[in-house]
Amino acid sequence: MADDIVVLDHITKRFPRIVANDDISLSIKKGEIYALLGENGAGKSTLMSVLFGLYEPDEGRIIIRGKEVQIHSPREASALNIGMVHQHFKLVSDQSVTENIILGIEPTVKRLGILSRLDMKGARERIRKLSSDYGLDVDPDAKIEDLPVSARQRVEILKMLYRDAEILIFDEPTAVLTPQEIDSLLHVIKALRDGGKTIILITHKLDEIKKVADRCAILCRGKLVGIYDVNSISTQEMASLMVGYEYTDEVNKKNYSGGDTILQVENVTLYNQDKVKVVDDVSFCVHKGEIVSIAGVAGNGQVEVADVVAGMLIPSAGRIVYKGMDITGKSIRERTEEGIAYIPEDRQDVGLLLDCDLAVNLALKSYYHEPYCSRGILKPVEFRKNGEMLIDQYDIRSSEGCSTIVRSMSGGNQQKAIIAREISLDADLYIFVQPTRGLDVGAIKNIQERILALSEEGKAVLLISLELEEIMNLSDTVIVMYNGRIQTVRKRSEVTANEIGYYMMGAKHEA
Amino acid sequence: MKHEGYKKAVVRMLGPGRTQYLRVSLFCIVISLIAGSVLLALLGKNPLEGYVSILQGAGFLPKARYAGHRSMFTDFMSLVNYTTPMIFASLSFAVAMRCGIFNINISGMMLFSGFIASITVGYSSIPAPFAQILVVLIGVISGALSGALVGWLKHRFNANEVVISIMFNYIVSYVISFFIQTMFVDPTTRQSVRVGDNAMLTGVDTMVGDLRMDISYVFPLAVLAVVLIGFMFSKTRIGFELKAVGMNHNASRYAGIRIGRSVIFSMALSGILAGLAGVSYYMGTFGSIQPRVIPTLGFDSIAVALLGNNSPIGCLLASFLVMTISNGTTYMSSRLGVLREIASLITGILLLFSACGGAFKALADRYKEELKSENKKGGSR
């Protein structure tokens, strides 16, 4: 078709153990706003990274303006007038807006015909003009570090426009903005379209798509589910297509019968380093033998709640009560000794010492007391004994057993090592954050069975996961968080996956 | 690929493997010796003769003739005496580095402890063995305090230790020179008044049999420190915690280690070693303090520790190597008739290449990755 500016033809991109994009074909018309919708890990960002030259596809063709092209780098994408605003901005914080925008393509004028000189004045003028054309209000002389997040995003947009981008990719642009800022961004996006630009919007927020997009493609687990005219589909339908399955009730799970309260989180509020409220007045309980899960799209404060309970973060307000005892001010080690085990989200940077061997990592939380250490002297024999036992018991595979440096192990086995260590602590409360992320099907099943077994033994479990299926399979109680607040708390038996998905998008607010 | 053979050679020589650190250190030594040879050859001297004279000067090979009461052994004892502060100083750097802290304050700490020990014990009339023990104790205490202060500032205010350290180097240097020049100056040497022999940690010109030699009383202490620090890192809980903090703050915190305590402890320990370096330097080899000068030995020790891969035994060996060259070049300059500056340039070259070890290692690691990915591409085509 003549007016298709971007055609992705049967794109497949594989990563080890996962197919991120499975035979995806899209065609995007010039001058439309095209939304890519999907859950975390559905393959939206990968697909756009392929278009932007960050990844090369394993199969398939990219056709830009009717010509087949190979895009090996963002620079080449830029030459094809493709621009991208990344989720995490790529700006130099102690330089001015103008300096950031011209970085890499500094305009020069020749003085006396030979000496070239940076043309800051011309650049500044052009930026002024671009910002007034599209309603992007930014002072070209301001320093990036003095600007709020929304203004930094406008700088990123200007950066694309300055490079004459015609195809603009926005990766989750509203994730960092307040509702008012979102409105003004959506206006800008519309203005850009009216100015003849083609916009690709990566998002999982349904209401935004409804507001601005012309068409949307829905991805689910790497596959293209369908392409729809936004006017002809309801948000309800979009949500269920995005989640991708109808929940079936066939888990080997005993019904939770109730028990003593183990953990009480009371009105916890947390501000991050940028003074943004990431957890907002959150309260809930976890009982003996119960699996409570917190569902939500990544970055809605769930992980921070887990960190607060484990002691890694100190809440700005509120209390953590464990077995009737206020532990808000207790250290991480004291909490471990009281019986709180924590499987953190970042298994490589937090859960393990990658440059130490497996034996040490399998005793990372108990290395300091008997039998591993007496009178300050470590006992390698005991580390080894414990290590060999756990390796055997949890089927942790590694090249050299106990003396394997953990960095060289696969992600699945690293995770098994963490879980083995934490379960061996024999705690009363287990906090799992994304325990199965990035693992293969067999490992996922194994870990999920272990979590169920823990609850059957009467342990309290707090599970934080982005996988709706996992949450539906394991939980007794489901909490949904959105923008740092609890959207709803429901018994698993009384709620469907679609409803949860809907709450996760922030579409429905409980009164 | 054009450079594949070259990359393979680099990977084989310096690439990942069991003895990588040792191979990288040896590589640094070898290329600095080659660079030194080129320098000597350019000056029209025989490089081999130059290196032989370095070994003669350091007391490893006999010289052609000796002055009265001197021999190869007395030269070697001087080397030991000069090396002692370097061992302490490089250990000091290594201890902090293992915990992830770049301690560039060693020079300042050395000066501080040397000065405190001089004015308290050095100018007193406390009898010999007690005075010397006191000097060591004062070195330990003043070093521990200044180290802990840096560690505390880093932990409490999240201040950058390099900036604090550099500022402290200046503060210490100027404040002490003020006191020396107003209160303790020797009018003829323009340095601080020489400390009494009762407080010296080196027996200068001690007669042993027919030989007149400098005996470092604290060298055994340096060897003991090497053994203890080695034991601490390999066998003890506190050593494990320091290493864990140095590897990864997040994972250490998660494991329940108190980061602040580890940081302060490792800086205090680093300070103790720097303090011992200070007293063995100022009250061993020199006996007096030059105002407004901070010892370059404190900075050289960084390169020495890096050459020794921050391991205690590595520090010991690297200290001997560097001090051998540094001591021996004095004799070389008189033997071969090259300028003293040229001679010390050779020491400088060694220190320079020692500090580059990490870069060579990174290069080899990168080549290995590149070779791997090239092989993969070749396979899939």
Angstrom distance (rounded) from CA A374 to CA B236? 9
pLDDT at residue B379, as a whole number? 44
Chains A and B: how many Cβ contacts under 8 Å? Answer: 55
Same domain, A187 and A331: no
B361 contacts B14 by C-beta, under 8 angstroms = yes
Same domain, A227 and A297: no
Angstrom distance (rounded) from CA A334 to CA A325? 12
Q: Is A373 on the interface with B (CB under 8 A)?
A: yes
Residue in A77, A83, A95, A278 with CA at minimum distance from that of residue A199: A83
Tokens 């709706």 belong to residue: A468
pLDDT tens string B320-355? 999 998 888 888 888 888 887 877 788 888 888 888
CB atoms within 10 A of CB A211: 16
Q: Would the CB atoms of A355 and B247 count as touching at under 8 Å? A: yes
A272: left (phi over 0), alpha (psi -120 to 50) or beta: beta
Q: Would the CB atoms of B250 and A350 count as touching at under 8 Å? A: yes
Looking up residue A194, the CATH number of its domain turns out to be 3.40.50.300
Q: Residue ranges of the domains in chain B?
A: 46-337
Angle of the A149-162 helix axis to the A179-194 helix axis, nearest 10: 10
Q: Is A367 on the interface with B (CB under 8 A)?
A: yes
- In whole angstroms, how large is the CA radius of gyration of chain A? 26
Q: Residues A393-426, buried b or exposed e (16+ Cβ, 10 A)?
A: ebebebeebbebbbeebebbbbbbbbbbbbbbbe
Contacts of residue A115, Cβ cutoff 8 Å, sequence gap at least 6: none
Which of B237, B241, B376 is the mutation pick for testing A, counting most A CBs within 10 A?
A: B237
- Chain B residues in contact with A349 by the CB 8 A cut-off are 248, 250-251
pLDDT at residue A440, as a whole number? 67
Nearest C-alpha of chain A: how many angstroms from B248? Answer: 7
Of chain A, the percentage scoring pLDDT greater than 70 comes to: 93
Q: Is A121 on the interface with B (CB under 8 A)?
A: no
pLDDT at residue B101, as a whole number? 93
pLDDT tens string A396-449? 888 788 888 888 887 778 888 999 999 998 899 999 998 887 676 667 778 888
- Chain B residues in contact with A333 by the CB 8 A cut-off are 256-258
pLDDT at residue B381, as a whole number? 38
Structure tokens at A127: 């930026």
Tokens 């009250």 belong to residue: B283
Q: What share of chain B is helix, strand, coil (3-state, %, to 5)?
A: 75, 5, 20
Residue in A498, A72, A488, A141 with CA at minimum distance from that of residue A294: A488
Same domain, A180 and A87: yes
Angstrom distance (rounded) from CA B213 to CA B78? 7
Tokens 């499975």 belong to residue: A22
pLDDT tens string A202-229? 887 777 888 889 999 988 878 888 899 9
Same domain, A121 and A268: no
Same domain, A403 and A459: no
Torsion of CA A50, A56, A58, A60, to 10 degrees: 60
Angstrom distance (rounded) from CA B350 to CA A414? 41
With a threshold of 0.95, does the pTM exceed it? no
Residues of chain B with pLDDT below 50 are: 1, 378-381
Q: Is residue A391 predicted with pLDDT exceeding 60?
A: yes
Torsion of CA A468, A472, A476, A477, to 10 degrees: 40
Angstrom distance (rounded) from CA B108 to CA A319? 46
Integer CA distances (angstroms), A433 to A192, A345, A403, A410, B295, in order: 40, 5, 27, 19, 52
Same domain, A19 and A138: yes
pLDDT at residue A511, as a whole number? 38
pLDDT at residue A320, as a whole number? 92
Q: Is B293 on the interface with A (CB under 8 A)?
A: no
A252 within some domain: yes
Q: Would the CB atoms of B256 and A365 count as touching at under 8 Å? A: yes
Nearest by CB: A353 against B236, B237, B248 = B248
Phi then psi for residue A310, to 5 deg, are -80, -10
Tokens 């009762």 belong to residue: B198
A510 within some domain: yes
The domain in which residue A490 lies consists of 247-339+427-511
Residue in A204, A282, A206, A238 with CA at minimum distance from that of residue A481: A282
Structure tokens at B62: 């006999």
Same domain, A28 and A41: yes
Helix/strand/coil (H/E/C) assignment for every residue in A222-269: CEEEEEEEHHHCCHHHHHHHHHCCCCCCCCCCCCCCCCCEEEEEEEEE
Mean pLDDT of A344-352: 89
A248 confidence band (pLDDT: 50, 70, 90): very low
Angstrom distance (rounded) from CA B345 to CA B330? 11
Q: What is the DSSP string of A198-218?
A: EEEEEE--HHHHHHH-SEEEE
Nearest C-alpha of chain A: how many angstroms from B278? Answer: 30
A2 confidence band (pLDDT: 50, 70, 90): low
Closest chain A residue to the Cα of B248, Cα to Cα: A353
Q: Residues B219-239, buried b or exposed e (16+ Cβ, 10 A)?
A: bebbeebbeebbebbeebbbb
Same domain, A83 and A220: yes
Mean pLDDT of all residues belonging to chain A:
85
pLDDT tens string A158-171? 998 898 889 999 98
pLDDT tens string A16-71? 667 888 889 999 998 899 998 887 667 888 888 899 888 888 889 999 988 888 88
Q: Is residue A147 predicted with pLDDT exceeding 90?
A: no
Number of domains in chain A: 3
- Chain B residues in contact with A351 by the CB 8 A cut-off are 251, 254
A345 within some domain: no
Q: Would the CB atoms of A377 and B250 count as touching at under 8 Å? A: no
Which of B254, B259, B372, B377 is the mutation pick for testing A, counting most A CBs within 10 A?
A: B254
Q: What is the DSSP string of B277-296?
A: HHHHIIIIIISS--TT---T
**Of A243, A262, A277, which residue is a domain's last?**
A243
pLDDT tens string A175-186? 767 667 788 889
A220 within some domain: yes
Q: Is B236 on the interface with A (CB under 8 A)?
A: yes
Same domain, A70 and A177: yes
Same domain, A363 and A436: no
A347 within some domain: no
Q: Would the CB atoms of A351 and B251 count as touching at under 8 Å? A: yes
A406 contacts A357 by C-beta, under 8 angstroms = yes
pLDDT at residue B173, as a whole number? 94
Q: Is A346 on the interface with B (CB under 8 A)?
A: yes
Q: Is residue A10 predicted with pLDDT exceeding 80?
A: yes
Helix/strand/coil (H/E/C) assignment for every residue in A314-331: CCCEEEEEECCEECCCCC
Pick the CATH number of B46-337 from 1.10.12, 1.10.3470, 3.30.70, 1.10.10: 1.10.3470
Same domain, A162 and A284: no
